[in-house]
Amino acid sequence: MSNKRKVAILGATGAVGQRFIQLLQGHPWFEIEVLAASERSAGKKYGEACNWVMETNLPPEIAEMPVANADVASVEKAGDVDIVFSSLPGDLAGPVEAEFAALYPVFSKASAHRMEKDVPLVIPEINPDHTDLIKIQQKQRGWKGFITTDPNCSTIQLAISLKPLMQFGLNQIIVNTMQALSGAGYPGVASLDIIDNVVPFISGEEEKMEQESLKILGSFNGKSVQNADFQISASCNRVQVKDGHLESVFVKLNEDPSLDEIEAAFTKFKGEPQKLKLPSAPVNPIVVRHEKNRPQPRFDRDTGCGMSVVVGRIRKDPIMSFKYICLGHNTVRGAAGGGILSAELYVAKGLA
Ligand code: NAP
């Protein structure tokens, strides 16, 4: 691509915003033009406004960039942008993202618009055709730009692992999560609440997993998305892990494939990003491990540069058809990496 798209990141100082900055370094299609956050940060240099917690150093040129307020006038004053990535808090994202979407393509990590009927909820490997919803959205709302959303972090990895199982007829899913601290943003959960502890509640998370999965794995008939018709029940826990959500998944299928057939379905699974060779696409969206005690967050979260979902412990279940463990990097595939891959898909399809 000769001319790189210039991007603004809203919520640039947070856990996901920092990951966007890290992953966009040297990106072949996108370059960072504007960083925006709250009025607490606006007007400061990024290096002063942000407590950088990524594993790699804060790039010096990013540290020197001014932080803008996360509104259209301030962002436009700070630079000319083509695309907006939003990692704003969910309660704030609704009106702010809508203001941007009237003018720009907005790729949102926030929950505010995910379940609106004319808003795509996209995982590029699963439902690339849902991107066409933006044409309906633009017509209905009279927008020049659009909003497209990524699912919740724990839902993304679950949905990726469920997609290849749909050929066997998904009937019922039960999922129990062990979710990393970075999923709660920065500074997130207070240390005294989580050291020596597991917190068996994450506000709104179970509902998101149960509702979003059905929309993502649903079918688009050119006008609207029909939800997938399996049943799903989620139970979510916060654990003392920095990055990487682990999930125990119990699946009841309509058919009775062997464990080898199930494993083959996981390993063979590829999607549109792999066909199109999108820059952030992992070679294998799902990687299966055979050790009896893997995947583990510390060892496996960076598989496929954090963009692959790692599945292991595939085994029969006495009540359901079978069960497995899956792991995903919540701020890479579950957040910034997923958002960038989605933007790459829209660009490759000529939609952004
Ligand atoms: P975070 O670490 O708390 O960061 C929040 C960001 O939003 C910061 O840049 C903050 O700026 C900015 N912000 C807060 N209040 C604002 C305001 N009134 N106006 C403008 N900007 C404001 O949260 P996060 O974990 O990055 O999550 C961001 C979004 O992504 C959330 O909607 C979250 O649900 C979603 N998400 C997170 C993950 C994950 O793994 N963390 C995964 C998927 C989706 P200041 O520094 O100036 O306060």
Instruction: Read off the CATH number of the domain in which 33 is found.
Output: 3.40.50.720
Asked whether residue 201 falls in the same domain as residue 257, the answer is yes
Strands 245-253 and 231-238: unpaired
Asked whether residue 207 falls in the same domain as residue 254, the answer is yes
Q: Which residues, listed in sequence order, are joined to residue 10 by a DSSP beta bridge?
A: 36, 86
Q: Is the pTM of this model over 0.95?
A: yes
**What's the pLDDT band for 1 if we cut at 50, 70, 90?**
low
Asked whether residue 85 falls in the same domain as residue 179, the answer is no
Asked whether residue 171 falls in the same domain as residue 85, the answer is no
Asked whether residue 285 falls in the same domain as residue 253, the answer is yes
Residues spanned by the domain of 99: 5-152+336-348
Cα–Cα distance for residue pair 265/223, rounded to 1 Å: 30
**What's the pLDDT band for 255 if we cut at 50, 70, 90?**
very high
pLDDT surpassing 60 at residue 42: yes
Asked whether residue 35 falls in the same domain as residue 161, the answer is no
Tabulate helix, strand, coil % of the chain (nearest 5). Answer: 35, 25, 40
**What's the pLDDT band for 266 if we cut at 50, 70, 90?**
very high
- CB contact at 8 A, 214 and 283: no
The mean of the pLDDT values for the chain is 97
Q: What are the angstrom distances between the C-alpha of 59 and each of 18, 22, 81, 295? A: 11, 8, 20, 31
Q: What are the angstrom distances between the C-alpha of 161 and each of 3, 60, 69, 308, 345? A: 35, 38, 38, 10, 20
153 among known catalytic residues: yes
Cα torsion at 69, 44, 109, 16 (round to 10°)? -170
Asked whether residue 129 falls in the same domain as residue 162, the answer is no
- CB distance 32 to ligand 1 below 6 Å: no
Total count of domains within the chain: 2
Asked whether residue 157 falls in the same domain as residue 128, the answer is no
pLDDT digit string, tens, across residues 192-212: 999 999 999 999 999 999 999
pLDDT digit string, tens, across residues 299-342: 999 999 999 999 999 999 999 999 999 999 999 999 999 999 99
Q: Whose CA is nearest to atom 24 of ligand 1?
A: 185
Asked whether residue 101 falls in the same domain as residue 127, the answer is yes
**What's the pLDDT band for 256 if we cut at 50, 70, 90?**
very high
Q: Which residues, listed in sequence order, are joined to residue 9 by a DSSP beta bridge?
A: 35, 85
Q: Which atom of ligand 1 is nearest to the CA of 110?
A: 32
Instruction: Read off the CATH number of the domain in which 280 is found.
Output: 3.30.360.10
50 among known catalytic residues: no
Q: Separation of 13 CA from ligand 1 center, angstroms? A: 8
Q: What is the pLDDT of residue 310?
A: 99
Asked whether residue 120 falls in the same domain as residue 42, the answer is yes
Q: What are the angstrom distances between the C-alpha of 289 and each of 161, 203, 247, 266, 317? A: 13, 31, 15, 11, 19
Cα–Cα distance for residue pair 298/322, rounded to 1 Å: 25
Q: What is the pLDDT of residue 2?
A: 57
- CB contact at 8 A, 270 and 188: no
Asked whether residue 102 falls in the same domain as residue 237, the answer is no
Q: Separation of 113 CA from ligand 1 center, angstroms? A: 15
Cα–Cα distance for residue pair 304/316, rounded to 1 Å: 27
Q: Which two tokens stand for residue 98?
A: 């809508």
Question: For residue 69, which amino acid is it?
Answer: N
Q: Whose CA is nearest to atom 36 of ligand 1?
A: 109
pLDDT digit string, tens, across residues 45-95: 999 999 999 999 999 999 999 999 999 999 999 999 999 999 999 999 999
Q: Whose CA is nearest to atom 46 of ligand 1?
A: 13
pLDDT digit string, tens, across residues 286-295: 999 999 999 9
Asked whether residue 148 falls in the same domain as residue 240, the answer is no
Q: Separation of 18 CA from ligand 1 center, angstroms? A: 10
Q: Separation of 86 CA from ligand 1 center, angstroms? A: 9
Centre a 10 Å sphere on the Cβ of residue 66 and count the other Cβ atoms it contains.
16
Mapped onto helix, strand or coil, the DSSP state of residue 54 is coil
Residue of 113, 130, 245, 329 with catalytic role: 245
